[in-house]
Amino acid sequence: MIHTDMFAAPTVSSSQAIHDSAQINRSASDTHTKQIANVQLTDVRFSYDHGRSWALDGISFDIHRGEYICILGANGSGKSTLGRILAGFVSPDAGQVDLMGQTVFSGTHADEQAYRQARHHIGMVFQNPEDQIVTTVVQDDVAFGVENLGVPHDHIATRVHQALEQVDMLDFALADPSRLSGGQQQRVAIAGALAMHPGMLVLDEPVAMLDDAGRQEVSGIIQRLRDEKTTIINITHMFEDARTADRLIVLDHGTLAYDGRPNAFLNSPELLKAHGLEDIREQELGAQPLSMASDTKNTHEKRKQALAIDHVTFTFSDAHKPALSDVSFSANQGEIIAIVGRNGSGKSTLARLICALAKPQQGSIEVNGINAYGARGHRGRRLRKSLRACVGYVMQHPERQLFADTVEADVAYGPHNLGCSDDQTRQRVDETLEFLGIAAYAERSPFALSGGQQRLAAIAGVIASEPTVLVLDEPTAGLDAHARSRMYTLIAQLKAQGTTIIMTTHSHDEAELLSDKVALLHHGSLLAFGEPKDVLPLYDEITDRALNLHAHSDKRQQGFNPSDRSPIAKKSSWIHLLDPRVKMVSALVMMFTAFAIHSLWQLAWAAVVVCGIVGMSRLGIRHVLQTVKILLAMLVVMGVLNLLVTRSGTVLFQWGIVMVTDAGIMSAVLYTCRFALVVMLGAVVMQTTTPTEMTDSMESLLSPLKRWGFHVQELALVMSLALRFIPTLTREARQIIDAQAARGGSVETGSPIERVKALASIVVPVFAGALRHADNVSLALDARCYEGGSGRTHFRMLKTHKKDYCFLAGSVFYIALLFAIPAIF
């Protein structure tokens, strides 16, 4: 490994730095004659608009084996495009690209075969951790890329084990990735790339979407991966990461601005400023909001109370421990309150409660003197409606709630729901767009705007209702430095207008910069509430403690509870261990044939067998019945229907046209019970079979169709990805439903047109989210070299054992007897 201090040279003037460092590099490569170039770019140009403008213009450099390179650049500098060229995802418009010893692009020709071979040796990790994980079990996900490379089955497990060890995630091999923290998910994604044994790893802003703790976790892992064999290219905006690189490459408006030792660039304020990379933190702290925060303190007594939270406890219906317990604090009008805490401390839950999107089990919340749950029924609804008029809720990533054809229509949704007249609504929309500086986009589709503009448009949709209390959930999450400082100014402006602001954040700096008071949450309890200077040191203590715990490899404790492990870990019974193909097919046949049950003898036989299967599954009959609780209502309806429609047999009871006969009772029992057996059998299969087992079986059972050109493996992958994203989409849909409800949208009430509009305000953003995930997932599949089903090997193998044949034989016997019973009796 080449250490940075090898290049320790006397101070160089900033203008000379580029030239000098390039020379040092060249001389270094001369002395290391064995150095192998992983990347050679020669005069590379790239355009997104057929040459009208250049995202990259004349980029040339080499990257050698074992180097650790950081790429810095302001937004729009072309660094992500460069990352994709380096990873072989896209070809440029001009120049020459050599990757992993192959000329993949020259002049105008992209050599697809060479690209494919090169990609097999390049790993890529993206920004969004969640969208890179393609299965429902961590170790299967790490194996996915290895399978695509066609590595023999016997070697896959070793590779998966090693890769998970490299990122310190071995303890989570069987976990469900959707329950991991962002930092952990990103480590799994890195393991997925490492298991493919890449010669070069390209990381595209791997820590950009993580909180401080996650960022340190992942940066630490990246440092550990540095060795002589693996080249690492880290595209980042973190100066701390860039400082540790062997070489720093800086892009500015598509051109190479710097290529050399990191410190010579990072220690030069002039160079940083010249390329739009001035130290952002200083700029933020110097901004005006700070002065805005202090002036309230004098006028403190005059202000009236805007928010009073009184001994609030809230527990989610599916949880044992409360998400918030006994939280009390209050806020005066015009104050900014920052709610700080680590992930999972209850910040977002508290934000939702303040907006009356959920009801606390104990305690009360008053906003402007309104307790939204202070009355029941009709009066309660009226209270909540008046609350909606004075509280605005900006959810995390509010741009995800945009839905209308135009920005102005979207912004008008809230005021319109509150009952503003058309003129009034128009006026509010115009004023709000003007205030946020996006009036020029009023008639554009919100989806055609840039990320920062989208967030402003979404916030406009909330503040157009002129709330006096505004709740912001992580308002700067995922924003770059410039958009972030724009947001700070906006918050200060709103405060100046007298709006009370409650914002959640995990950033110490943000809370210090903006807030008058800080509420510190930890595991759902309010640890402290008061002036930032008193509370924030406590927050730092908590964060540091968590990080130290992690550093001392006490990761077992880190937010991971063994019961979170995937069901495979608990797999025990005979039924669990059956070949899923045998289990699923037998069960389906038994379920369909149950509809042929027409006598009590048949019913008894089926009941014996189904109860036997439930018993063998060791799930417990009560547990099975509990899982089918929702279907019980349907069973009751069916029973009653059967009871009443049957007119034959002896009349036992008659009341008007309602008539109950013995035959009616008989058919009610028969039809209800046989359906109950069907449902129980299905529940056992669902409870004893993992999603991966189901998709594996589907692939295996459908594989004969391959002969006719069916994309069987692709189909199984579609299904597996779909199951993986159900929790994600469900969570996002809930957030959107909340956010639109806070703007007064309601599917349950109003005219049909209003209801359809309310539905559209939920459905459109949900589709937008699905498409956004799809874009990321397709890149993640490319990064793992997915090239269709052929040539893939399998990490998991389905094997049939003796017990499977026994079960199959048993099923056949059951069905044979079921159909023989009418002949016997």
Partner 1 sequence: MSMPTHSVDPHSTKNDGEGRWSTRRIAIYALFVALAIVASFIEFPIFPAAPYLKYDPSGIVSLIAGFAFGPMAAVLVSILSWIPHMFADPLGSIMAIVVALGLSVPASLLYRRFHSRIGALYGILLGAGCALIVALLGNLVVTPLYANISVEQVIAMILPILLPFNLLKLAIHGVVTFIIYKPISMLVKR
Residues 374-433 that bind partner 1 (CB under 8 A): 403-405
Q: Residue 607 or 763: which CB sits closer to partner 1?
A: 763
Site for partner 1 in 128-147 (CB under 8 A): none
Buried/exposed 742-770: b ≥16 CB within 10 Å, e otherwise: bbbbbbeeeeeeeeebbeebbebbbebbe
Angle at 823 between CA 818 and CA 825, to 5 degrees: 90
Sequential DSSP letters for 135-191: SSSHHHHHHHHHHHTT--HHHHHHHHHHHHHHTT-GGGTTB-GGGS-HHHHHHHHHH
Q: Residue 440 or 756: which CB sits closer to partner 1?
A: 756
Whole-Å CA distances, 433 to 402, 438, 446, 742: 15, 5, 13, 20
Per-residue DSSP letter, 345: S
Whole-angstrom distance, CA of residue 113 vs CA of residue 725: 32
360 binds partner 1 (CB under 8 A): no
Whole-angstrom distance, CA of residue 599 vs CA of residue 702: 35
- 498 CB-contact burial (10 Å; exposed 0-12 / middle 13-18 / buried 19+): exposed
767 binds partner 1 (CB under 8 A): yes
Whole-angstrom distance, CA of residue 17 vs CA of residue 14: 5
Q: Residue 375 or 636: which CB sits closer to partner 1?
A: 636
Q: Residue 83 or 682: which CB sits closer to partner 1?
A: 682
Q: Residue 235 or 264: which CB sits closer to partner 1?
A: 235
User: For partner 1, which stretch binds (CB under 8 A), given 241-249, 262-270, 444-452, 792-800?
Assistant: 444-452
730 binds partner 1 (CB under 8 A): yes
Q: Residue 46 or 258: which CB sits closer to partner 1?
A: 46
Pick from 172, 393, 413, 725: which binds partner 1 (CB under 8 A)?
A: 725
Whole-Å CA distances, 450 to 73, 76, 441, 457, 765: 18, 11, 11, 10, 16
Pick from 709, 751, 823, 825: which binds partner 1 (CB under 8 A)?
A: 709
651 binds partner 1 (CB under 8 A): no
Minimum distance from residue 532 beta carbon to partner 1 (Å):
41
Site for partner 1 in 44-73 (CB under 8 A): 46, 50
775 binds partner 1 (CB under 8 A): yes
Whole-angstrom distance, CA of residue 391 vs CA of residue 537: 30
Q: Residue 467 or 639: which CB sits closer to partner 1?
A: 639
CA atoms within 13 A on the CB side of 331: 30
Q: Residue 722 or 812: which CB sits closer to partner 1?
A: 722
285 binds partner 1 (CB under 8 A): no
Site for partner 1 in 657-686 (CB under 8 A): 667, 670-671, 675, 678-679, 681-683, 685-686
781 binds partner 1 (CB under 8 A): yes
Whole-angstrom distance, CA of residue 588 vs CA of residue 469: 55
718 binds partner 1 (CB under 8 A): yes
90 binds partner 1 (CB under 8 A): yes
Whole-angstrom distance, CA of residue 414 vs CA of residue 606: 57
Pick from 722, 806, 812, 816: which binds partner 1 (CB under 8 A)?
A: 722
Q: Residue 440 or 726: which CB sits closer to partner 1?
A: 726
The distance in angstroms from the start CA to the end CA of the chain is 83
119 binds partner 1 (CB under 8 A): yes
766 binds partner 1 (CB under 8 A): yes
User: For partner 1, which stretch binds (CB under 8 A), given 112-120, 138-146, 290-298, 801-809?
Assistant: 112-120
Pick from 104, 200, 438, 464: which binds partner 1 (CB under 8 A)?
A: 104
Pick from 66, 73, 83, 92: which binds partner 1 (CB under 8 A)?
A: 92
Whole-Å CA distances, 731 to 306, 560, 737, 738: 30, 20, 10, 11
Write a three-state SS string for 260-324: ECHHHHHCCHHHHHHCCCCCHHHHHHHCCHHHHHHHCCCCHHHCCEEEEEEEEEECCCCCCCCCE
User: For partner 1, which stretch binds (CB under 8 A), given 69-77, 189-197, 362-370, 771-779?
Assistant: 771-779
764 binds partner 1 (CB under 8 A): yes
Pick from 440, 588, 632, 809: which binds partner 1 (CB under 8 A)?
A: 588
User: For partner 1, which stretch binds (CB under 8 A), given 216-224, 263-271, 433-441, 722-730?
Assistant: 722-730
The tokens for 355 are 């907006």
Q: Residue 218 or 717: which CB sits closer to partner 1?
A: 717
Residue 295 sits at φ, ψ, to 5 deg, of -70, -15
Pick from 359, 496, 595, 812: which binds partner 1 (CB under 8 A)?
A: 595
Site string for partner 1, 548-567 (x = CB under 8 A): --------------------
Minimum distance from residue 756 beta carbon to partner 1 (Å):
6
The tokens for 587 are 């069960």
Pick from 592, 653, 710, 805: which binds partner 1 (CB under 8 A)?
A: 592
- 605 CB-contact burial (10 Å; exposed 0-12 / middle 13-18 / buried 19+): middle
Minimum distance from residue 514 beta carbon to partner 1 (Å):
33
Helices (H), 689-751: 691-702, 712-742
Buried/exposed 15-35: b ≥16 CB within 10 Å, e otherwise: eebbebbeebbeebeeeeeeb
The tokens for 253 are 């408006």
Question: What Rg do the C-alpha atoms of the chain give, in angstroms?
Answer: 31
Minimum distance from residue 44 beta carbon to partner 1 (Å):
12
Site for partner 1 in 18-47 (CB under 8 A): 46
702 binds partner 1 (CB under 8 A): no
Q: Residue 136 or 485: which CB sits closer to partner 1?
A: 136
754 binds partner 1 (CB under 8 A): no
Whole-angstrom distance, CA of residue 586 vs CA of residue 815: 10
Residue 98 sits at φ, ψ, to 5 deg, of -115, 125
User: For partner 1, which stretch binds (CB under 8 A), given 317-325, 351-359, 391-399, 582-590?
Assistant: 582-590
- 407 CB-contact burial (10 Å; exposed 0-12 / middle 13-18 / buried 19+): buried
Site for partner 1 in 478-497 (CB under 8 A): none
